[in-house]
Amino acid sequence: MKFDGPFAFLADLLFPPRCALCGAVVPFGVSVCPACEKECVRVDTCRRIDLAENGKTISCMVPYRYDGKVREAIIRFKFYGQTRSADFFGRQIAGLFPDAPRFDFVTAVPISKERRRTRGYNQSELVARRAAGRLALPYREVLIKTIDNREQHKLDRKERRGNVKGVYRAAGGGSLQGASVLLIDDIVTTGATLGECAKVLLHAGAKSVRCAAISEVLL
């Protein structure tokens, strides 16, 4: 909640600002508490994701390592309904795209209908919507996950690519023809999921796809 003017002081008393990662009370204007700040591994890397199609690759920008307080915040975000970190993560991703005007829109890696029903939201979509807001770009839902496949983190590198093959498709409504897309996910490990989604977008007519993830796991 945000209040301005004479109400700001009262609002801070009633709703004190909290650390985006752990929820501890923080001073006004601070988004992450010192303990979390210390245990975040900021990497700001640009990874290449192999699309396994004539040597084609796409880039993926990643602000954090999947470790420490970032890992804890993502687990709470994904599995315990604590979505407070979405805005913070969205801002961190947005900050990595100073050339944002070249994109037509932002989208996210989808989750299945069943998963969405049980979780109530798609964590990557919440982050992507926040990033889009920061970048002054529209958010569009252009991908659907049609098969509830096995969880990627339970599989080895070789199995991961096969596990995501054919589970996504382009959503109807609105053309992707010639579009430059920024595609966002929560965690990137081998890049199999982002790569598969990017391929679907490119085959549906998108001109270019670049990716971002909140964090990376190094295998």
- DSSP helix/strand/coil, 215: strand
Q: Does 21 bind Zn ion (CB under 5 A)?
A: yes
Q: Which of 6, 28, 36, 47 binds Zn ion (CB under 5 A)?
A: 36
The encoded tokens of residue 62 equal 């990643």
- Binding flag, residue 40, Zn ion (CB under 5 A): no
Contact partners, residue 57, CB within 8 Å, separation at least 6: 48, 49, 50, 51
Residue 46, CA distances (Å) to 100, 109, 148, 152, 210 in order: 16, 18, 29, 21, 11
Contacts of 120 (CB under 8 A, 6+ apart): 81
Q: Closest by alpha carbon to 46, among 1, 99, 82?
A: 99
Determine, following the binding rule CB under 5 A, whether residue 197 of this chain makes contact with Zn ion. Answer: no
Among 13, 16, 33, 170, binds Zn ion (CB under 5 A): 33
Question: Contact between 49 and Zn ion (CB under 5 A)?
Answer: no
Should residue 131 be labelled a site residue for Zn ion when binding is judged by CB under 5 A?
A: no
Smallest gap from Cβ 16 to Zn ion, in A, equals 13
CB 73 → Zn ion: shortest distance, Å? Answer: 8
**Which range, of 35-43, 90-98, 142-150, 184-192, touches Zn ion by CB under 5 A?**
35-43
Amino acid at 28: F
Query: Looking at beta carbons only, is 19 or 62 nearer to Zn ion?
Result: 19
Q: Between residues 38 and 153, which has the closer beta carbon with respect to Zn ion? A: 38
Binding site residues, Zn ion, CB under 5 A: 19, 21-22, 24, 33, 36
